[in-house]
Amino acid sequence: MMNVRIGIVDDHPLLIKGLKGMLEQHSGIEITDTYQSGKELLAGLKVAQPDVLLLDIQLQGQSGDELMPLLNKQYPNMMVIALTNMEHEYYIKNMLQNGLMGYVLKTSNESVLLAAIQAVLKGSKYFDPAIRKIAAKVQSGITQQVLLTAREKEILQLITEDLTSQEIADRIFINKKTVEAHRLHLLQKLGVKTSASLVKKAIDMGLMK
Amino acid sequence: MMNVRIGIVDDHPLLIKGLKGMLEQHSGIEITDTYQSGKELLAGLKVAQPDVLLLDIQLQGQSGDELMPLLNKQYPNMMVIALTNMEHEYYIKNMLQNGLMGYVLKTSNESVLLAAIQAVLKGSKYFDPAIRKIAAKVQSGITQQVLLTAREKEILQLITEDLTSQEIADRIFINKKTVEAHRLHLLQKLGVKTSASLVKKAIDMGLMK
DNA sequence: ATTTTTATCCCGGAAAGCCCGTATTCATGA
DNA sequence: TCATGAATACGGGCTTTCCGGGATAAAAAT
């Protein structure tokens, strides 16, 4: 394998340490930087950029899919591979639209990760076998992605925090009827008829933690 | 450190491989077995038992907190340390009641894990600093465990499946008012006032996946 | 430049959920 | 055995959500 400098972003030090030890046994691979948060990453990249970045999505603070647009814009030559447990269409689509080159699940083994690294170095995209079906669907544009507006996400969050529409309205200074309209749109977008199953479905789809 | 044989149960091969490489750099530590599922674990333990078992909770198939009672009964001399992201009281309590000796979060670093291993080898319990407050609360018996009846769990499940009280009533042949009574008890037990946040809380507490 | 879409906001009425009761059954242990 | 509590079941009354409308302004597409 050609010489490659790799960066790792993950909030699990145990995983970083393990991954580092593992990857460095391969000649040509060098782990140049590891970061435990988005903040650390952004600071570190100003100093030096790796060729390939392994990026977890679930990070405390700024999440991977919030970071991705920034990375794509500021460091377009850095190949980013998502290394995560999130296998929801929502994230795969979001990340791909922002220049992600590879997607590897943490449940995969070493050979998959190495294959992904080699692929993106050649400029090709790489998807974990376990998510190829979803990735193909997403890339073909067949999916009609459920996209929530900022306001809808905000309402959804407050709904899970045990607030009624009236309480939400008071909190964010809009009419109660408007909150109910947002609720209706949430129900329609996720294809359910009760707020209870809305929450379940949103969690299942990865729209919220 | 004294000689110790360690087993690891986790469905992330990357983490296992990394952890193994990391721990084996310490003299006296030997990783004798690694398992990717509860099934593999139970089969493997029949052949040989490690001194310390690092057990993830979120496993596909049988989860760690389902395995724990079995392990405690069949292999009481094996010291089990939970190595997981789950930091909910529900799990900590459940696991501790079934003989768990240590609880380490995956967001911790190497030294915490080593400290946990050393502690349990001496027969003491060890908790990750990040969860000591919760652990103390659980051990002191202050918490009153939320216990749902079979009927309540059944209703809760149907609520998340997008059914109204009337539909649930029709499905299981009871009066709509009775369903609403169960709903009320669910709300009271979990300390919320809407079904939407009930679902969120139930998931957070691990009462359902 | 003008259509089309999207996000946000508002109303009225029907449906469902929430909260106060009470009743019956059943298991437990004083 | 009889008291206690817990689980299940049901009713009335009030609140909230749900769902049919529709309006407006901003952004995107043509």
The gap between A181 CA and C13 C1' (Å) is: 15
Which pLDDT score, from 0 to 100, does residue A145 have? 61
Using a cut of 0.95, tell me whether the model's pTM lies above it: no
Which pLDDT score, from 0 to 100, does residue A65 have? 79
Domains of chain B: 4-142 (3.40.50.2300), 146-204 (1.10.10.10)
Average pLDDT, chain A: 89
The reply to whether residue A160 touches residue B197, judged by beta carbons under 8 angstroms, is yes
Q: Where residue A96 falls among pLDDT bands split at 50, 70, 90?
A: confident
Q: Where residue A142 falls among pLDDT bands split at 50, 70, 90?
A: low
Q: What percent of chain A has pLDDT over 90?
A: 60
Which residue of B162, B168, B192, B208 to mutate against A (max A Cβ within 10 Å)? B162
The predicted-structure confidence for A47-95, as pLDDT tens digits, reads as follows 999 999 999 998 887 888 788 888 988 999 999 999 998 888 778 887 8
Closest CA to B201 of B186, B188, B190: B190
Closest CA to B151 of B178, B176, B177: B178
What gap in Å lies between CA B40 and CA A72, rounded to an integer? 41
The reply to whether residue B162 touches residue A193, judged by beta carbons under 8 angstroms, is yes
User: Looking at the complex, does the CB of residue B198 fall below 8 Å from at least one CB of chain A?
Assistant: yes
Q: What percent of chain B has pLDDT over 70?
A: 96
Residues from chain A contacting residue B83 (CB–CB below 8 Å) = 14
The predicted-structure confidence for B46-105, as pLDDT tens digits, reads as follows 999 999 999 999 888 888 888 998 999 899 999 999 999 888 877 888 788 889 999 999
**Is residue A175 scored above 90 in pLDDT?**
yes
Which pLDDT score, from 0 to 100, does residue A1 have? 55
